[in-house]
Chains A and B, each alone.
Chain A
Amino acid sequence: MTHDELEFSISQFLDGTLAVDEEAALKARLERDAEARALLEEHRRLTALLKAQPLPEVNWDALASHLSKAVAREEAPAQSYRLFNVSPRVMALAASILVVLGVGVTVLLNRPGRSAGEGLVIRDVHPDAAVAVSSPDQSSPEVTVGPSRALAANTSSPFAEDVVSRPSRVVIASGVEPAQDTSNPLY
C-alpha cells in the first residue's frame, strides 16, 4: 500500500465509507505503523477543525414561515398562465390558427395590382385650369388642384420651380360645395 493509498483509506475510514475488508486491513496497519497512526491523528484534527465551524443563529421556524410566504407569492403569477383552465395543447392550436389568419389577411391586403390608394378616384387636372372640379357622382364630388399651363409658361413668376414645388395633382377635399377659392387666377 502506497502512502497515497494509505491516506485515501484513512480519509474514507474517518468518513465511514471504507469497505469492511479494507477497514480490517487498515486497522491492522495502524496497530503496527506509528506513521499511519500519526497520519490518522492529523486527519482527525482536520475533521474536528472543519466541523467546529459554527452556523449563524437562525430562527428556523420564522425562516420556514418566511420561505413559505415567499413561495406562495411566487405561486400566484405562475397560475395566471393557465388561461381559462385550457390545456397548453389547445392554447398552442388556437395560437396557430390566429397566426394563419393573420398571415392570410396580410397576403390578401397586399396582393399584386392593389394599390394603397385603391378606392379613391383621382382625375387629371384640366390642362388650362389651376383648379378643376369634377363630379363623377353627385353624391361625392371631387376637387383636384394642379398647375395651369399659363402659370407654368409664365417665366416671370415669382416662384422658382426649384424652390417651390407644386404637385401635379392633389386631392384636397371631397364634398357637395367646392371649398377652394377659385377666384384667384394663381390657384
Chain B
Amino acid sequence: MEAEAPDPGKAKGFTSPTDGELVGRVLAGDRTGFDDLVRRYQRQAVAVSYRLLSNSHDALEVTQDAFLKAFSSLATLQKPEAFGGWLMRIVSNLSLNYRRSRKTGSQLPLDDLLGPLDAQKTKVLTGSDWMAQSGNPLHRLQSEEMGRKLQSALAQLPEKQRLAIIMFTIEEMPQKEVAAALRCSVEAVKWHVFQGRKKLKELLKEHL
C-alpha cells in the first residue's frame, strides 16, 4: 500500500525558488513562502516522524508541531539554504520526545487527513501496514509480522544510527541534509549508516 505522495516542490526546476529564497520571503513578511516550504517538506516530515513513531496520527501531529516551531523560530535559522536539514532535526527531536511522553488525544481533526484505511486503525500501530491491501490474508499477516520485526530492530539502534538509516537509506534525503539534521559531518553520516546497517543485518539475519 505504498501511498502516492506527490511532492511538487521537491522537484526543483529552473523556476522553483530555493529553500533560501523561500525562507527570505517569509522573513520579509510573505507567509506564502512558508506554504511552499510546507508543500516541499511535508511528505518527508511525515515519513521521518512515522518511521520513528509507527503511528500515523502521532506523525501528523508531530509534523504540524514541527512546522509551527520552524515558522516561529525561522529567524534563528543561520543558513536559510539548510532549511530541510534544520526542519528534519526539529521533526526528529519532537518525535523522540513525543515517543517518550505519548500524548493522549488531539484537539485537531488530523484523522480527516488520513486515508480511510489509516483513519480506521487504532492509535498505536502494532506493526507495519506493509502491503496491507493484499488480498491474501496469510501474505498480509506475514508482511505485518515482518513490519513489526523491522520496527523492533530499528528501535534497538542507537539514536543517530536509527535517524541516519531512516533519513538517508529509507527516505533518501541528501547526505548534507542528514548531516545538518544530525549535527554531524557527512562522513559521520556514512559511518552511522554503515554501523546501523551492520546491526540491522545481525538483528534481521533470519529474514535476509
The majority secondary structure among interface residues of chain B is helix
Let me know if A50 and B169 touch, CB within 8 A: yes
Could you tell me the distance between the alpha carbons of A76 and B112 in the complex, rounded to whole angstroms?
25
Residues of A in contact (CB 8 Å), total 35
Chain A, 46-64, CB within 8 A of any chain B CB: 46-47, 49-60, 62-64
A interface, CB within 8 angstroms of B = 7-8, 11-12, 15, 17, 42-43, 45-47, 49-60, 62-64, 66-68, 70-72, 74-75, 78
Chain B, 116-131, CB within 8 A of any chain A CB: 116-118, 128-131
Could you tell me the distance between the alpha carbons of A56 and B128 in the complex, rounded to whole angstroms?
10
Residues of B in contact (CB 8 Å), total 58
Give the number of A-B contacts (CB < 8 Å): 137
Nearest chain-A residue to B201 (Cβ)? A46
Let me know if B118 and A57 touch, CB within 8 A: yes
Known A11-B193, A43-B197, A72-B31; contact A56-B118, beta-carbon cutoff 8 A: yes
Tell me, yes or no, whether B160 is within 8 Å of chain A by CB: no
Binding-face segment, B13-21, B67-75, B78-86, B97-105:
B67-75
Tell me, yes or no, whether B208 is within 8 Å of chain A by CB: yes
Could you tell me the distance between the alpha carbons of A181 and B72 in the complex, rounded to whole angstroms?
71
* Min C-beta distance of B190 to chain A, whole Å: 6
Known A71-B31, A71-B34, A72-B31; contact A53-B130, beta-carbon cutoff 8 A: yes
Let me know if A8 and B194 touch, CB within 8 A: yes
* Min C-beta distance of B138 to chain A, whole Å: 18
Let me know if A57 and B150 touch, CB within 8 A: no
Tell me, yes or no, whether B56 is within 8 Å of chain A by CB: yes
Taking a contact as CB atoms closer than 8 A, the residue among A60, A64, A71 that contacts B71 in the complex is A71
Could you tell me the distance between the alpha carbons of A173 and B47 in the complex, rounded to whole angstroms?
79
